[in-house]
């Protein structure tokens, strides 16, 4: 037997169905969201590590190849952007060796010391997320 629908058919979701969907989405978000919270900090640490061990290190090595020495501590990493006027003045400066001012992901300048206390040529590090030197989370170019 066929049933005839007498009246209009209402299409849509009931309140219970909507509530069920909202509960499922909330439960999924509660599981997934905590996994992503710590990722931003991990990304900043990875960026600082890459800067220290690759990007700035390569620029310093190019400076040294051109001039026969690394910039002095007093000249700092700015010597990679602009030719230093203070001693030792590089005679074969072919920079800029880096495009922008070397700032770590937390907005602090990288710390550069040459000759280094931990490495013969230079020490290069970031004070890390806490912004305090030797705060336990420093990112360095030497073994801890």
Summarised one tens digit per residue, pLDDT across range 24-37 is 888 888 877 777 77
How far separated are the first and last CA of the chain, in Å rounded? 83
Spell out the domains of the chain, with CATH numbers in brackets: 41-140 (3.30.700.10)
Reduced DSSP (H G I as helix, E B as strand, rest coil) percent helix, strand, coil of the chain, to 5: 40, 10, 55
For the stretch 120-135, pLDDT in tens is 999 999 998 888 787 6
pTM above 0.85, yes or no: no
For the stretch 89-113, pLDDT in tens is 999 999 899 999 999 999 999 999 9
Beta strands per DSSP E along 58-129: 111-113, 123-126
Question: 99: closest CA among 77, 124, 121?
Answer: 77
């Amino acid at each position: 037997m066929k049933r005839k629908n007498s009246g209009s058919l209402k299409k849509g979701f009931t309140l219970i169905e909507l509530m069920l969907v909202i509960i499922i989405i909330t439960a999924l978000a509660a599981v997934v969201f905590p996994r992503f919270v710590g990722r931003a900090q991990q990304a900043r640490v990875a960026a600082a590590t890459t800067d220290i061990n690759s990007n700035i290190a390569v620029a310093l090595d190019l400076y040294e190849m051109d001039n026969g020495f690394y910039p002095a501590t007093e000249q700092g990493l700015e010597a990679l952007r602009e030719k230093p006027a203070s001693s030792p003045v590089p005679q074969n400066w072919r920079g800029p060796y880096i495009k922008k001012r070397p700032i770590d992901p937390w907005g602090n300048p990288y710390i550069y010391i040459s000759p280094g206390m931990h490495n013969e040529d230079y020490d290069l590090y970031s004070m890390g997320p806490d912004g305090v030197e030797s705060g336990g989370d420093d990112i360095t170019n030497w073994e801890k």
